[in-house]
């Protein structure tokens, strides 16, 4: 069994499903190239690879939620996930007149909030 070099969780896709570390940092050459150790199936892809694996953000959804609820009108949760532009917008408009804060809180709770690189906050 191949394990993530960062967190030690079992790898079953091109990213660690727990910490979101890309395959390149975990010893995989690329998606189609397989493992460097040569553990391949007949078609050249690594064993146990799932094609529909989602990329998770290293940022915590619970930290983002607390920041959103406490300091949402200042855009602190947006700065936390790397969305500086909308963080400044929230800061200038008091969280888009608090409507944006409510929408973001619901998105965080339902696992639909993403960081600046488009990765979902799930932990």
Q: Which tens digit of pLDDT belongs to each residue from 74-104?
A: 999 999 999 999 999 999 999 999 999 999 9
pLDDT at 53: 47
For the ranges 4-8, 36-40, 57-61, the one whose mean pLDDT is highest: 57-61
Distance CA 61, CA 79 (A): 13
Q: Vertex 84, ends 82 and 87: CA angle to 5°?
A: 110
- For residues 21-28, average pLDDT: 63
What is the reported pLDDT for 9? 74
Cα–Cα separations (whole angstroms), residue 85 to 8, 92, 93:
35, 11, 12
């Amino acid at each position: 069994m191949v394990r993530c070099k960062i967190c030690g969780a079992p790898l079953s896709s091109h990213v660690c499903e727990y910490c979101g570390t890309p395959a390149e940092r975990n010893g995989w050459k690329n998606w189609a190239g397989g493992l460097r150790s040569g553990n391949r199936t007949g078609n050249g892809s690594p064993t146990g690879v799932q094609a529909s694996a989602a990329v998770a953000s290293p940022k915590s959804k619970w930290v983002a939620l607390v920041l959103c609820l406490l300091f949402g009108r200042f855009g602190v949760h947006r700065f936390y996930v790397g969305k500086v532009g909308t963080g400044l917008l929230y800061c200038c408009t008091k969280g888009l007149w608090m409507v944006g804060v409510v929408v973001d809180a619901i998105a965080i709770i339902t696992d639909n909030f993403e960081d600046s690189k488009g990765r979902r906050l799930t932990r």
